[in-house]
Amino acid sequence: MSDRHIEISLTRRDVHCTARLLDDRAPVTCAAVWEALPLAGDVYHAKYARNEIYALFPPFASTEPPLENPTVTPIPGDLCYFSFAGAELGTKAYGYDREVRPGGTVIDLALFYERNNLLLNGDVGWVPGIVWGEVVEGLAAMAEACNDLWRTGAAGERLAFRRA
C-alpha cells in the first residue's frame, strides 16, 4: 500500500499542514479515520497535555480501535486518537457544552505541535493515545497558528481533517 496523506486545517486562520497516516503502526485506527473523512469540528486547545489542539466527534468506527501504537508522550507532529466516555469529560471544568453527553462516547482527534507533552489528566490519570499519523509538511506554520489560538482564543475556529 502506498502512503496515504491527509490535510489538517484551522479553517478561520486558513492554515494547513499535511500528515502521513501510519498504516503500518496503527492500521485499524487509520482505516477508521480514513473512512470517516472529511471531519471538522470546533477546535479546543489542551489544558493538561500542553501543546495540543483537538476536535471532538461522535464515534465513527464500526468497532472501537484497539490501543495500537500507544503513547503518553506525543512529539511534535503526532496525530492522536482518543476515545472517552462522555462522563469522563462531562464536568464544567473542561468547558464543553454541546459535544459531550454523560451517557455517550466522544472521539478526540488531536494534533500535537510542540515538545514536552504529557498525557496525564488530573481527574483520571494517564490517558494513552493512539498515534495514527505524523505531520510531514507545514508543522511550523501550524504551530504558530496553534500558539496564536492559545493566546487569543479558539472561539469560532474549526479544526478540519480531509484526504489530501
User: Taking the domains of the chain in order of start, what are their residue ranges?
Assistant: 5-163
Low-confidence ranges of the chain (pLDDT < 50): none
pLDDT at position 105 is 87
**Does pTM top 0.85 for this prediction?**
yes
pLDDT at position 149 is 96
Residue pair 48/122 in contact (Cβ under 8 Å)? The answer is yes
By C-alpha distance, which of 14, 33, 1, 8 is closest to 145? 14
CATH of 5-163, one of 2.40.100.20, 3.30.470.20, 1.10.357.10, 3.40.630.30: 2.40.100.20
Q: How far apart are CA 33 and CA 132, in angstroms?
A: 9
